[in-house]
Every structure is written in C-alpha cells, then in structure tokens.
Amino acid sequence: MKKLALPDDILMQIDKPARYIGNEFNSVKKNPADVDIRFAMCFPDVYEVGMSHLGIAILYDMLNKREDTYCERVYSPWPDLHNLMKERNIPLFALESQDAIKDFDFIGMTLQYEMCYTNILQILDLAGVALESKDRENDDPVVIVGGPCATNPEPIADFVDLVYVGEGETSYPLLLDLYKEHKAKGFDRQAFLRDAAKIPGIYVPAFYEVTYKESDGTIESFKPIYDDVPAVIDRQVVKDMDSSSYPTKMLIPFVRAIQDRVVLEIQRGCIRGCRFCQAGMIYRPNREKSVDVLKEQARELLASTGHEEISLSSLSSSDYHALGELMDFLIDDCLSEGVNVSLPSLRIDAFSLDVMSKVQDVRKSSITFAPEAGSQRMRNVINKGLTVEDIIGGATLAFKGGWNKVKFYFMLGLPTETDEDMKAIPQLANEVAAAYYDTVPKEQRQGRCQITISTSFFVPKPFTPFQWAPMYEAGEYLRRAKVVNDEMKAQLNQKSLKYNWHHSDVTVLEGVFARGDRRLCPAILDAYKSGCFFDAWGEYFDFDKWLAAFEKNNISIDYYAYRQRDLDEILPWDFINCHVTKDFLKREWNNAMNAKVTPNCKMNCNGCGAGIIGSGVCHNAR
Amino acid sequence: MRVRVKFAKTGIMRYVGHLDLMRFFQKAVKRSELPIRYSEGFNPHQIMSFASPLGVGLTSEGEYMDIDLKEKVDAASALKALNDNMVEGLEITGFKYLPDDAEKCMSAVTAASYVVTYKDSKDDACYIDNIIDLKERFFDESGSINIVKKTKKGERELDLKPLIYRFNLIIKEGVPEYDLLLSSGSTDNIKPELVIKAFHEFIGLPEFDELSLDIRRIDMFTGEPDSFVSLGDIGDEH
C-alpha cells in the first residue's frame, strides 16, 4: 500500500482528507530514484482551487514528459492541517510520492493573484525551507515563481530565487537542462543562479540593485549588479499554439474541484484591448489554435478523463475564428454521449443564444453581460466596445428565447468616474428590465425578470494603460457602492433588480501589491509571521494585521495605491519587456482621458509592439 | 439490462468519502466506454446506484453498485475495462447481470459483515485477560443490549441484541479481532463502532474512541436472518 505523509489520526480529524493523499486518476507515478530532477509544482491556495488551474496542468504534463524529471503537486494545507503540521513538525510533502519537498530540486509556485503572497511563505515555512532567498544554501531547493503576477514580482523579490516571466512552455527545458549540468558537476547555488539569469525570461531578483529618490521615494535606478546579467527581461511567449505542449490527460481529483470538467484552451490573448485588463495586454498577441487541433484535443481529453462536461477557455471566446464549427462539433459529437458543453462568457448575440439554448436549460440558466461600466462615456474610457444597443438588443433576444435572468458585471472606481457614471449602472439595468416587460407578454411571464448587478472595485495593474491611475480609499469605494444602491432604489423596475458589491479593504491591499516594489517584502514577511495567510478567503483576511505590518515597516498605502503616478516615473516592473511598449500604453492612457475608443486588433493594428513576436493576429493580418 | 458491480475499497482510499467515490465511478464508467444508460431530461445522468455508503476511514471488500446498460457486453471484458480505470485501493471484483425482478442494491441490503480490530496493539482492550468470557456474557442468548442511540431527532433507547446476528471474538497476536454480522440498510442500520462501544462499556473500559478501531466491511447481504444471501451472489455473468 502507498504510504502517506500524514498519520491516520490527523487524516481522520481534518476537513476533506482526500485533498492530501494524491492517488488521483491520471496522476503521474515515477520512481524518484530514476530521475535527476524532482520538481514540486505548487499552487499556493487550497486543493480545490489549485486543481482547477489549467496552467499547472499544462506544466505538470510537460515537465513529466521529460524522463529525467518528476514533477509532483503541492497545494496550501488548509488552516486546520496547517496547525497540526506545525504542532507536530510534519514537513510539507508532495502529493504523488508523499515525500518532503525540502529535499526536492525545485519548488515552483504560480502567482495567480496578489492575495496569495502570504501563502507562498506558508508553503516555504511548512516545507522547512528558508523564507528568504539570501538564507538558502546549496542543498536547499531552488524556489521559482511564474504566472500573471510574475509580471511584477518585486513585492516578493526577497522570497524567491528565480522568476519565470511569461508562458512556461518556452524556457523550462533550457532551465532544467542547465540545472542538470550544474548538479552533475557539484551544485553551487550562486553559479547556477548566475547562469540561469542568462536564460530568456528568467529573472533573478538578487542580481539587481534598486535605488530610490530621496525627494519622493520613487525609483531612481534599477540595474543588474553584474555585467553579464540582462537589464531587461523579455516576457516569454509561445509562438505556435498548435504545436505547443498540451496535455491529453488531466487529473481527476476525488474532492470536487472548482472546474469539474474538461477545460479546452482555444486561444491565448485577446484582440479587444480593454484598458483595465492586464491579461488583455500581457498575453498579446492573440494566438488561436486551429479548429482541427481543438477537435482532436476535445475528443482525447473527454475519453481520458471521463468528464461529462467540457468548457472552452479563452479571454473572449466569441472572437475565436471558427467558434461556430467548433460548437457544432461539440454539440453533435459530445452532447449525444451525455456530455454537456458549458459556455464561458460569450458576447450575447443571436449565434450564442442559439448555441446556449441547445446546451442549457433556458429556464434555469442566466445570461451574463460584462459591460464593466454603466455609461457609454465610461465604457469608451475603458475601451469596452459595447454599446447600449448591443446590451438591450442582446437581452431582448434572450428574453424572446425564454430567459428571464440576467447578470451584469461592473467595476467601480475607474479613472475619471463621476457620480453620473455610477448612477448609469442601475439605470442600464432598469432599461433591460423594461425591455423584458415590453418584450414578453404578460401571459407568458413567469413572475418578474431578475436582473443582478455585481460590482467589483477597480485595481490598476502593471502593463495596462491604467497602470498610472490612482485608487481610492476603502471608504470612497463604499460610498460609490452606495450611490449605485440608492440610484437602484429610485428605478421604476427596482423590484426586478438586485445589487451585490465586494468588500473594499482587500481591494486596497490588492492595489498595494499589484504595483508594489521590493520594499514591501519585509511587511509581507511580518504579516505572515503575525498570522496572515489565505488572505483571498474572507474568513481569514485580517486587515488590521496588515496595517500593523505596514506601519512597522514604514509602508505608506498612499504611496502605493492612492497617488497618481507620473507618466515618466520609473515603475518597479519597467525592467520587464512585455512586448507591448510603454509608448503604446501612454497613448492609450491619453485616449482614455479623451474617452476615445481604439479599434480591436482584427480591425486595425494599433502598433502596440506585440507584433515583434511575429505570430498570431499580428502575423495573420499582414 | 441491469448489472451489479462488486468492488473493494481498501488502503488509502478509506479517506475518500461516499459522494466523492460516486463521482469517481461516474467518470470511470465513462472512461471504460460501457454503454451505460442515461436518465431522460435536460440534465441526463448515468443510472447508477450504490448499496449502503461506507464511512470515511473504513475499508471494504464487499461494496456494490448497480448500473443500467443499453446493451449486453461481455462481463469479463467489462470487468477488465473498469479495472483499467481504477486507482490503487479500488478494485472491481464482480460484474453480474441481474434478473429482472432483482431488488436494487440500495433497498435490498439488510445486513453487513465486518471485521473489527484495533489500530494500536497497545490499546486498553488488548489488556483485558478474560475478554473472551466477557464476550460470552455480553452476547448472551437470552439477554438484551440496551444502548442510547443518538439520532437527528434526539436520543432513543434501543436494544441492539436482535440487530446483531453474529458477534465473534478471537485474539490474534494479542489483539482482539471481532467478527460481526449486523443489521444494515435503511431501517435498522447498525454501525459496528456502536456495537464495540456497547461492548467496551460492558467490560468497563473508559472513554471509547471510535477512531481507535480499524473497521473492514467484508460483505453485504439481502434477505432474512436465517437465509441471508450475499448481494454478490445474485445474477450471473451471462
């Protein structure tokens, strides 16, 4: 029988013990003695969240295709287990072999959201690995991070040895080959890091020196300390999605994951250019997979997993060139076999409604719009190319098709937002409700329509045209939510409307981290030591502890979140080349200030800089 | 075409709960490409039902699941196809076509057999010298075993005696091992830990901890006490 790292009495007293036993169908079994490199791939959040993540699935499969490497998985132990592991000194282990990860060659972590930063420290702490890079010795694992937040890794610079900037498919083979060479000749940590720094996309924070201006505390210079370490890190981009590594098998967790279905990535990047959206900028250029490759991948994945649902993954599925053909294939080939097709947020039009009516129970499901802003002016500022006619027209079609539930997603606190823009949110919802009562005759209605409005608070992100924008204090966000709520109550159809909004403290913290620099590291360390982790989970988020950690380390929230940055300021992430140029971002910032819309990449090339990659939409257009 | 699948759940799979196990089997059946029948309606689901759920922490050699097939397939190859889709700790041990009048495993089960021992060979129970004699007095032909059973509605008095069909005890390498046959199913479902707890109280052991027990379900039965039939003995491979 397979051994487990946790004793029976612990497994019997914690919540969901199956999170920690491994043994999932399609998990990879190798003999650790047969490999050169042991890699612990961590998602620093709870199992059900981490097991749903496509990026980890791709890298797990890709790394395990190498005979010399055994990649295993690790997730954050839930606080109940965390306490028991600390109490009894049980080191954090990988799920497959159940071996302690402090003996591994690499600990890799993905940074999907800023609020996981303390969970990185939790993983290192439970593993028994020094929390700061400077304290690690030759026989400690190499700690590497990647993922979207690695486009500004500075707030966690002290904790990691390497940062992989960009898409993992390209440089991991080089990095692992290099590691093997170094291991064979007797591993010297500093020498390895020095060589790794020369691999495209690999950033070694310890090899850079930052100085700050005495006048205002902004960055004065950001430079490598060695001549052979690059001053600029090029974000890695897969050129051809068709030939890029994609798993034919996916793990089947026992505990139900958030994504309990086949996830098929149909394209990377987005042509739209919404000005608040980091993914829409950093994943440029938009690169599609061919429809034949997708059909084959869908077939294989359904057969190897036994999932009864398949979902398409992309930033904007409606823009995929052969969506009709792909949907026809999925509906004809899969639906008959008891497999459901679930649709990610599509543009609501006649085509998508037709598809949805085939795959969903219209009476139970709802239609989702993400206009992100209520007024046309505001939508022009954020470059969300959606008009009120599109929304009312789409909703009317949906009502005719039998739907009576509509969900709306908006953001509050966007640059230039006025009270009129806030009020436009419930007004738009009211118009949609009115369209329902105009469209559906009384005798066909099943009660009222339900229009749900959700708002989140806007957080400016690096590498977006809004990266210079100021945020607001927590109280101001709540005031804005109240403006929306009050205006909603003044609407004629208010009984058909429902409004949800988010907490604002966590928004401010996310804002500090998103545009933070390495001066935040000591504060994050102190916050973890004072008990902060699982900050993304409301029940564990403790803002007061964070404020105390900031105060102790002289961190000003005002400096990181609330101030308007100068367009010429050196930003902490300027050393990364995301291909989208700063000139383009500045141009887009100015367009935003003038509420001027920029056409999407298929209509017109706007010279963002991503064309240098020489593939995807930029290449096709030429 | 109804089929009864028998399987064993052992080793580390003891930590996987019943709902998670059901979801695992839905996907395993799908992967094995058995022609399983789906329910009608907008959200079709596989026609699949399980006999009595096994608690987390327990292992079993005699678990059952009934499925409905659209057409007949070769039992031996179906068994192999299913086993190719299992994980360590789950093994398919039977695949039999049920007669038309066979009751569903879920409602058919009336009794279950267990072997119970102690996880720790230093458990207090291992130091009771006359435990076999005490067992004879506990499970006496004429007596009753009254306990207080906690239910969702509160507490109720219950005589366990008529619901225990077998209570044997042997000493194996110094550790008591119980061999039990207990009433099971929807009406009088008696968990083995409840019986051992009553025995512990009878022999005067303090503070019973059900996690100290290692419980293996051996099989499940249908019918009446004098003529129990294993759920796995119903139907045949053709």
Give A500-531 pLDDT, tens digit per residue.
998 889 999 999 999 999 999 999 999 999 99
Please tell me the predicted confidence (pLDDT) of residue A75: 98
Residues of B with CB under 8 A from a CB of A: 10-13, 15-17, 20-21, 23-24, 26-31, 33, 38, 42-46, 56-57, 85, 87-89, 119, 211
Cβ partners under 8 Å of residue A371, min gap 6: A379, A384, A386, A391, A408, A409, A410, A428
pLDDT, tens digit (0-9, with 9 covering 90-100), for A270-286 = 999 999 999 999 999 99
Q: Is A36 helix (H, G, I), strand (E, B) or coil?
A: coil
Quote the tokens at residue B8. 């064993």
In this structure, whether the domain defined by B2-98 belongs to CATH 3.90.920.20 is answered with no
Task: Decide if B31 and A306 are in contact by the 8 Å CB cutoff.
Answer: yes
Distances (CA, A) of A585 to A373, A377, A422: 21, 20, 26
| Smallest Cα distance from B38 to chain A, Å | 7
Binary contact (B27, A24; C-beta < 8 A): no
CB atoms within 10 A of CB A54: 15
What tens digit of pLDDT does each residue of B1-55 get?
Answer: 999 999 999 999 999 999 999 999 999 999 999 999 999 877 789 999 999 999 9
How many CB atoms are closer than 10 A to CB A96?
23
Q: Where are the beta strands (DSSP E) in A58-187?
A: 69-75, 106-110, 142-146, 162-164
Q: What is the mean pLDDT of residues A375-389?
A: 94
Question: Is A254 near chain B, with CB under 8 Å?
Answer: yes
Residue ranges of domains in chain A: 8-166+168-234, 239-360+579-622, 361-515
Sequence-distant (≥ 6) Cβ neighbours of residue B234 within 8 angstroms: B4, B96, B98, B99, B102, B222
* CA atoms of A522 and A555, how far apart (whole Å): 10
* pLDDT above 80 (res B141): no
Quick check: A4 and B119 CB within 8 A?
no
Under 8 Å between Cβ of A480 and A116: no
**pTM of this structure:** 0.95
Query: Of A188-197, A301-310, B31-40, where does the model show the most confidence?
Result: A188-197
Strand partners, A93: A100
Residue A51: pLDDT over 80 = yes
Within A168-225, residue ranges assigned H as helices are 172-184, 189-196
pLDDT interval class at B166 (50, 70, 90): very high
Q: Are A462 and A152 in contact (CB under 8 A)?
A: yes
- Across chain B, mean pLDDT equals 93
For A308, name the nearest residue in chain B, comparing CA atoms only: B27
CA distances from A175 to A192, A238, A274, A470 (A): 10, 16, 34, 38
Give the CA-trace dihedral at A548, A552, A555, A556, to 10 degrees: 60
Crossing angle (nearest 10°) for helices A323-334 and A350-359: 10
Query: Which residue of chain A is at minimal alpha-carbon distance from B31?
Result: A306
How many angstroms separate the CA of residue B143 from the nearest CA in chain A? 35
Give the Cα separation of A216 and A196 in Å (integer). 34
Which candidate in B14, B31, B85 is best for mutational testing of the A interface (most A CBs within 10 A)? B31
Residue B151 pLDDT exceeds 90:
no
Asked whether the predicted pLDDT for residue A336 surpasses 70, the reply is: no
> In whole angstroms, what is the distance from residue A223 CA to residue A54 CA?
34
Structure confidence at residue B58 (pLDDT) = 97
Residue tagged 């240098």 (tokens): A612
Which of A8, A11, A254 is opposite residue B24, by nearest beta carbon?
Answer: A254
Predicted confidence (pLDDT) at residue A148 exceeds the cutoff of 50: yes
Q: B108-227: which CATH number, 3.30.70, 3.20.20, 3.40.50, 3.30.1490?
A: 3.30.70
Question: Does A549 have pLDDT greater than 90?
Answer: yes
CB B60 within 8 A of CB B216: yes
Beta-carbon separation of B89 and A361 below 8 A: no
Tokens of A475: 């109280």
**Is there a contact between A99 and A32 (Cβ–Cβ < 8 Å)?**
yes
Which DSSP string corresponds to A390-438?
A: HHHHHHHHHHHTT--EEEEEEEES-TT--HHHHHHHHHHHHHHHHHHHH
First to last CA, chain B: 11
The residues facing B185 across adjacent strands are: none
Residue A235 to residue A200: CA distance in whole angstroms:
8
Of A185-189, A257-261, A550-554, the one with minimum mean pLDDT is A257-261
pLDDT band at A246 (very low <50, low <70, confident <90, very high): very high
**Taking CB atoms and an 8 Å cut-off, how many pairs form between chains A and B?**
75
Question: Reduced to 3 states, what is the DSSP secondary structure of residue A98?
Answer: coil
Q: Which residue of B has its CA nearest to A12?
A: B57
B124 and B205 Cβ atoms separated by less than 8 Å = yes
Reference A281, options A110, A414, A462, A55; nearest CA is A462
Minimal CA–CA distance to B32: which of B46, B18, B49, B14? B46
3-state secondary structure B122-137: CCHHHHCCCHHHHHHH
Q: How far apart are CA A93 and CA A116, in angstroms?
A: 19
Cα–Cα separations (whole angstroms), residue A283 to A90, A318, A611: 39, 17, 12
Report d(CA A455, CA A424) in Å as an integer. Answer: 13
Best residue of A3, A21, A51, A249 to probe chain B, by most B CBs closer than 10 Å: A21
> Which residue among A17, A18, A252 places its CB closest to the CB of B27?
A252
CATH of A239-360+579-622, one of 3.30.930.10, 3.20.20.100, 3.30.750.210, 3.40.50.300: 3.30.750.210
Beta-bridge mates of residue A401: none
* Closest-CA residue to A233 (of A300, A292, A162): A162
3-class secondary structure per residue, chain B: CEEEEEEEECHHHHHCCHHHHHHHHHHHHHHCCCCECECCCCCCCECEEECCCCCCCCEEEEEEEEEEECCCCCHHHHHHHHHCCCCCCEEEEEEEECCCCCCCHHHHEEEEEEEEEECCCCCHHHHCCCHHHHHHHHCCCCCCCEEEEEECCEEEEEECHHHEEEEEEEEECCEEEEEEEEECCCCCCCCHHHHHHHHHHHHCCCCCCHHHEEEEEEEEEECCHHHCEEHHHCCECC
Give phi and psi for A406, each to the nearest 5: -130, 135
Per the prediction, chain A carries an average pLDDT of 94
Predicted confidence at residue A621, as pLDDT, reads 55
Q: Over 60: is that where the pLDDT of B146 sits?
A: yes
Tokens 């436009």 label which residue? A424
Position B125 pLDDT exceeds 90? no
Q: Domain coordinates of chain B in residue numbers?
A: 2-98, 108-227
Q: Which amino acid is at B95?
A: F
Q: Looking at the complex, report in whole angstroms how far the Cα of residue A80 sits from the nearest Cα belonging to chain B.
A: 16
pLDDT in tens, B44-101: 899 999 999 999 999 999 999 999 999 999 999 999 999 999 999 999 999 999 999 9
**What superfamily would CATH give domain A361-515?**
Aldolase class I (3.20.20.70)
Closest by Cα among A37, A40, A57 to A107: A40
Distance CA A29, CA A26 (A): 9
Sign of the C-alpha dihedral computed for residues A89, A91, A95 and A99 taken in this order: negative
Q: Is B176 exposed, middle or buried (0-12, 13-18, 19+ CB in 10 A)?
A: buried
Q: How many CA atoms lie within 13 Å of B198's alpha carbon, on the beta-carbon side? A: 22
A517/A433 Cα distance (integer angstroms): 46
Domains B2-98 and B108-227 in one fold: yes
What percentage of chain A carries pLDDT values higher than 90? 88
The whole-angstrom separation of Cα A346 and Cα A352 is 7
Q: What is the pLDDT of residue A345?
A: 64
Residue A543 burial (CB count, 10 A): 16
Confidence of residue B207 (pLDDT cuts 50, 70, 90): confident
Tokens read off for A287:
């690169």
Confidence of residue A467 (pLDDT cuts 50, 70, 90): very high
Q: Is A17 strand, coil or helix? A: helix
Whether A610 has a pLDDT exceeding 60, the answer reads: yes
Task: Closest CB to A18: pick one of B15, B45, B119.
Answer: B15
pLDDT band for position A351 (cuts 50, 70, 90): confident
pLDDT band at A622 (very low <50, low <70, confident <90, very high): very low
